Structures are given as structure tokens and as C-alpha cells.
Amino acid sequence: MKIDTRDILYSGLPKLRIMPHVLLVDDEAPLRDSLSYALQKEGYEVTTAADVAAALKLFHKQVPDVILLDLMLPEVGGMEVCWRIRAFSDVPIVMLTAKDQDIDKVWGLEAGADDYITKPLELLGNKL
């Protein structure tokens, strides 16, 4: 019987995640669904959340490689979520928003976002 040393070497190791994991947080279901689908087609593992509570719960369950975060969420805005996450993590955060004023971009980046993309999202593929 032949023993493959790769089986021995890798048998005790956890399986590594190959696809980058994106946490997509947006309260607009049609946008969330279509963006999730597009990212999955590009090879990303996508977890979605419609609100802040679900996003933070999912974040703690499996830390993503990047967070795509809507700026205008109900109850607590995206900037508040960004501040909360920045308090304990340096995971890249990309703000997604229809707000395209320069001051909004400055506030988003000062809140801790790594990038700021305005909707519609034609150029998203170039940003990830």
C-alpha cells in the first residue's frame, strides 16, 4: 500500500479559505442581491446583511477579507458602523453610497473607511 505524504501533512490542518470573503451590508435588497450575485460570479464568497445588528453578528462569526458598507443604513448609519468596527479591527472597509459630495467622502474616510465608492457601482470590479 502506498501512502501519500500529502495526506499525512495536510490531514490535521484546517481547510484554508481560497475565495476572498466579502461582507456586504446594504438595506436595499435588490442592490444587495445583484451585487452579491456579481461578486460570487467573480469568485468571491459573499455574506450579506441588511442591517447593523446582523452585520456585526456576521462579522464576529467569520471575519471577512473586506466589508462593503452602505453609508445610509437605517437605525445606525454606515459611519457609526465603521467607527465600531475600527475600534477592534483593521479589516478593509469600502463605503458604498449614493452620496457623492466631497464632504461625504471626507467624512467616510475619516470614519475609518479605506475607500469610498458612489452608486451606481459600474467600477466596483476595479476596486476589489
Q: What is the 3-state secondary structure (H, E, C) of 11-30?
A: HCCCCCCCCCEEEEECCCHH
pLDDT of amino acid 68: 93
C-alpha–C-alpha distance, residues 2 and 37, integer Å: 43
Q: Measured over all CA atoms, what is the biggest interatomic distance in the chain, rounded to whole angstroms?
A: 69
pTM of the model: 0.77
pLDDT of amino acid 106: 82
Q: Which domains, from first to last, does the chain contain?
A: 17-123 (3.40.50.2300)
pLDDT of amino acid 73: 84
pLDDT of amino acid 12: 53
Question: Can you read off the three cell numbers belonging to residue 3?
Answer: 501512502
pLDDT of amino acid 8: 45
Q: Does a cis peptide bond (omega within 30 degrees of 0) precede residue 120?
A: yes
Which positions of the chain have pLDDT values less than 50? 3-10, 123-124
